[in-house]
Amino acid sequence: MICLFYFEPAKGISVKEAVGRVASESSNGTWTSLSTLKEHIRKIRARAFEIKGNYVKIAYPIELFEFGNVPQLMSSVAGNIFGMKAIKNLKLLDIMFPKAYIKSFDGPGFGVHGVRKFMKIKDRPLTCTVPKPKVGMTTVEHAKVGMDAWLGGVDFLKDDENLSDQKFNRFYKRAELCFKVRDMVEKKTGERKSYFINVTAETKEMLKRAKFVADLNGEYVMIDFLTAGFAGFQSLRDFCHDNKIAIHVHRAMHAAFDRNPKHGVSMLVLAKLVRLIGGDNMHIGTAVGKLVGSREDVMLYRDSISNSKISGGKENLYQDWQGLKDTIPVSSGGLHPGLVPNIIGLLGNDCVLQLGGGIHGHPNGTISGAMAFRQALDATLKGIDLGDYAVEHKELRDALRMWGYSRPV
């Protein structure tokens, strides 16, 4: 296993001392020499083997890790080291997973081909909406917004990250009603529709919720993987493997780890862990929407979760995914119809585009918002300028009048 770190030594600590301490504390060393350090233990120490400026690569013998256990991996290579006094700043930029380690995980159950197959959507980007306001709507209000969005042409309904099982919108009631509505809309439109219902909770309850979804013929569940934790996510993935359910992964709280460029854990590492464990969809940002994330960053995350291999660069490592299925990139956060061409230009067709406010903020309501979204998508795929297409498409025209091509701040 190889890890790439950005590091800055603390005052008075040399570069060699700093990287040595990182390698040691993240493998099997501590702050002092040990009488218990025998030869067979010395053999599995991690070693820093390449230092370039503030970047260091550290190699970890595979014996240090328990296969199939992401919490244990993170307790090692992203554990105590971030708090060491010898280090001023430290960022885990990437982890190269070796073949044997990858083989101890299932990875995604479906990948883009699998999802396209059960959704019967050949090659266009997949579309999604999250009802807004985030929380507060009753179950009936939520289902009505879902129905309108599905009828207007959206493929997936999604819960918001902080909607789980609150007084005003109970999980089990929501699941029953939304899947009933889903079945009705499928009959009416002749299109496949699905629902990323948020099962995030304490692990046993989360699995109970996922079972409920499976019994209702749901194809997907959604998890906030960072707040639920890696262990909970792994348990959910096991359940979904046995029950043939796909997983939509929301990354709420990621910026607490990855926003500081000098310290923490990169979004790339988080995204790769999601693919390793087996998320079928993963939020990766927009580059043009309401949340931070540059174009280069978003492309790197896209490539790392979509491609079978990725070559290394200054801030990432070579990775061969050893045949593991891909995770579909989800672009979300401040998007509206006017931004659809930008996102497709950036991500291509194998992605999920999510518009929340960009649908439910439409001046004529959710159905018109969903229609405007599909019109923007159709125009982009046909290579027609949105402004030209809007002449004959009222919903898109109203959306462009409202938001234009603006990038939210």
Sheet-wide strand order for 264-265: 47-52, 55-59, 2-9, 87-96, 264-265
CA dist 201 and 164 (Å) reads 7
Q: Binding partner of residue 332 among ligand CAP, Mg ion, none, CB under 5 to 8 Å per kind?
A: ligand CAP
For residue 73, CA distances in Å to 70, 170, 236, 251 come to 5, 35, 18, 19
Residue type, 291: L
With respect to ligand CAP, which residue has the nearer C-beta, 73 or 335? Answer: 335
Q: What is the DSSP string of 157-176?
A: EE--TT-SSBTTB-HHHHHH
With respect to ligand CAP, which residue has the nearer C-beta, 7 or 196? Answer: 196
Q: Is 251 in the site for ligand CAP (CB under 6 A)?
A: yes
With respect to Mg ion, which residue has the nearer C-beta, 249 or 310? Answer: 249
Site string for ligand CAP, 155-174 (x = CB under 6 A): -----xx-------------
129's torsion region: left (phi>0), alpha (psi -120 to 50) or beta?
A: beta
With respect to ligand CAP, which residue has the nearer C-beta, 113 or 259? Answer: 259
Q: Which stretch binds ligand CAP (CB under 6 A): 31-39, 148-156, 223-231, 330-338?
A: 330-338
For residue 225, CA distances in Å to 89, 134, 143, 206, 362 come to 26, 18, 24, 12, 31
Q: Which stretch binds ligand CAP (CB under 6 A): 11-19, 209-217, 239-247, 350-358?
A: 350-358
The two three-digit tokens of residue 207, written as one number: 């699995």
CA 310 from chain centre, in angstroms, equals 18
How big is the site for Mg ion, counted in residues (CB under 5 A)? 2
* Residue among 51, 64, 74, 291 that touches ligand CAP (CB under 6 A): 291
Q: Which stretch binds ligand CAP (CB under 6 A): 89-97, 117-125, 282-290, 316-324?
A: 282-290
Q: What is the DSSP string of 240-307?
A: HHHHT-EEEEE-TTHHHHHSSTTSEE-HHHHHHHHHHHT-SEEE---SSSSS---HHHHHHHHHHHHS
Site string for ligand CAP, 80-119 (x = CB under 6 A): ----------------------------------------
Residues with Cβ within 8 Å of residue 303, at least 6 apart in sequence: 310
SS3 197: strand
Site string for ligand CAP, 114-153 (x = CB under 6 A): ----------------x-x-x-------------------
Whole-number minimum distance, CB 102 to Mg ion, in Å?
30
Whole-number minimum distance, CB 160 to ligand CAP, in Å?
5
Q: Is 160 in the site for Mg ion (CB under 5 A)?
A: yes
Residue whose structure tokens are 């046993």: 204
Q: Max CA-CA distance within the chain?
A: 80
Whole-number minimum distance, CB 202 to Mg ion, in Å?
21
Whole-number minimum distance, CB 243 to ligand CAP, in Å?
26
Q: Binding partner of residue 13 among Mg ion, ligand CAP, none, CB under 5 to 8 Å per kind?
A: none
CA dist 31 and 276 (Å) reads 32
Q: Binding partner of residue 244 among ligand CAP, Mg ion, none, CB under 5 to 8 Å per kind?
A: none
Angle at the Cα of 229 from the Cα atoms of 225 and 235, rounded to 5 degrees: 85
* Residue among 209, 283, 374, 393 that touches ligand CAP (CB under 6 A): 283
Residue whose Cβ sits closest to ligand CAP? 356
Please return the burial class of 246, using the count of CB atoms within 10 Å of its CB with bins 0-12, 13-18 and 19+: buried
Q: Binding partner of residue 262 among Mg ion, ligand CAP, none, CB under 5 to 8 Å per kind?
A: none
Residue numbers annotated as active site: 132, 250
Q: Under the rule (CB under 5 A), what is the footprint of Mg ion?
A: 160-161
The binding site for ligand CAP (CB under 6 A) comprises 130, 132, 134, 160-161, 251, 283, 285, 290-291, 332-335, 354-358
